[in-house]
Amino acid sequence: MSTKTYEQIPSRNVAFLGLGVMGDPMAGHLARAGHKVTVYNRTPAKAAAWVATYGGASAATPAAAAAGAEIVFACVGNDDDLRSITVGEGGAFAGMKPGAIFVDHTTASAAVARELAEDAQRRGIAFVDAPVSGGNLGAINGALTVMCGGDAEAFDTARPVAMAFAKAMTLLGTSGSGQLAKMVNQIAIAGLVQGLSEAISFGQRAGLDMKAVLEVIGKGAAQSWQMDNRGPTMIQGKFDFGFAVDWMRKDLGIALEEARHNGARLPVTALVDQFYADLQAQGGNRFDTSSLIKRLG
C-alpha cells in the first residue's frame, strides 16, 4: 500500500470514470485524500469492488456519475472509449453541471482532446487533457507525472485535487498540448529502452557481469530511469509488470500518426514500434515494455 501523504485541501465532490489498472488506484487516492468519489466502470463488478474497498458510490452511467461532481476524472483506453464516456449515450458531458471540469487522463490523440474541449466549451464546462506517465506502480504510489493542456483556470482548480495521485502536474499549453507532450515522452522512452536492451545483450554476450556494469555506468552519463528501474529486471528476464507492450504500441501509433501530420521524422520510433509488433507476434502482448531485449536472444 502507498504511504503517500496528502495535501490538506477542502473536500470536493468528484467522479472517476474507468477503473482499469491505472484508474482504480488513482480513484483510490482521491478517496483516501478525503474527497467524495463516485465511480463508473463498464464492468459494474469492478465499480462495486472499488466501493467495497474505498467507500464512496458507483453509478450505472458516466452521466449519472458526473451529476453534481465539481471535477470528473477519467482514464480509459483510446479515442473511441473517450468519446463514448463523454458524448456517447449516457455520456458524462450531459450530466455535468455548468462550470464543472472534465480531466482526461487517457493517452489519446491531440485531435480528440481539441474536439472534446470545443464540445465542452459549448456546454459551459471545461476540458483538460492530462495524460500521465509512471505506469501502474506510479498510480499505486500516487506518484504520476501529469502533462496537461487546456484552460489555465480549470487547470488551477483541478491540480490540487489531482495531486492526490500525482507527484507533478504541469500545464503545457492549450488543448491537445498534454497529449502532444505524452507523445514526446513515449518517443523518448522507446529509444531509451531499445538502447538499454542492446547494451545489456551486448554485455551479456561479452561475458560481463551486467549487474556490476549497470551499477558503474549508472553513475555516469548513461544513467536513466529505465536503467535504474528496468535494467536489473531485464538482466533477470522478468517482464511481468509495468507498462504493457500493447499499450506502448497504441501510444507509439498515436505519435507516428501525429508525425505524419506535422512533418516530424521519427525513424527510430517507427523501427522500435515494429520491434514491439514482433513481441506481440510472439505472444508478448502483456509483457512490460522492457521486454524488447527478448528479441535479441
What is the rounded distance in angstroms from the CA atom of residue 223 to the CA atom of residue 216?
9
The three three-digit cell numbers of residue 167, written as one number: 507527484
**If phi over 0 gives left and psi between -120 and 50 gives alpha, with beta otherwise, what is residue 237?**
left
Mean pLDDT for the stretch of residues 124-140? 96
Q: Which amino acid is at 187?
A: I
Q: Which amino acid is at 7?
A: E
What is the rounded distance in angstroms from the CA atom of residue 170 to the CA atom of residue 138?
16
The residue with cell 455535468 is: 96
What is the rounded distance in angstroms from the CA atom of residue 113 to the CA atom of residue 120?
10
Work out the angle between the directed axes of helices 245-262 and 267-281 (0-180°, nearest 10): 150
Nearest to 189 by CA among 95, 105, 106, 107: 107
SS3 62: helix
Q: What is the pLDDT of residues 255-265, one digit of tens each?
A: 999 999 999 99
pLDDT at 60: 98
The structure's pTM equals 0.95
Q: What is the pLDDT of residues 170-216, one digit of tens each?
A: 999 999 999 999 999 999 999 999 999 999 999 999 999 999 999 99
CB 22 within 8 A of CB 132: yes
- DSSP H helical ranges for the chain: 23-32, 44-54, 62-66, 79-86, 92-95, 110-122, 135-141, 152-162, 177-205, 210-217, 225-236, 245-262, 267-281
Mean pLDDT for the stretch of residues 240-257? 94
> Residue 27 CA to chain centroid, in angstroms?
13
pLDDT at 1: 56
Q: Is 4 one of the catalytic residues?
A: no
Nearest to 59 by CA among 36, 74, 35, 40: 40
Q: Which CA distances in Å does 97 have to 115, 120, 227, 228?
A: 19, 11, 46, 45
Domains identified in the chain and CATH numbers: 13-174 (3.40.50.720), 180-296 (1.10.1040.10)
Which of 207-241 are b and which e, b meaning 16 or more Cβ less than 10 Å from the residue's Cβ?
eeebeebbeeeeeeeeebebbeebbbbbbeeebee
Q: How many CB atoms lie within 10 A of CB 3?
A: 6
Say whether pLDDT at 91 is over 70.
Answer: yes
Choosing from 167, 182, 211, 219, the catalytic residue is: 182
CB 252 within 8 A of CB 186: yes
CB 164 within 8 A of CB 141: no
Q: What is the pLDDT of residues 14-71, one digit of tens each?
A: 999 999 999 999 999 999 999 999 999 999 999 999 999 999 999 999 999 999 999 9
Say whether pLDDT at 9 is over 90.
Answer: yes
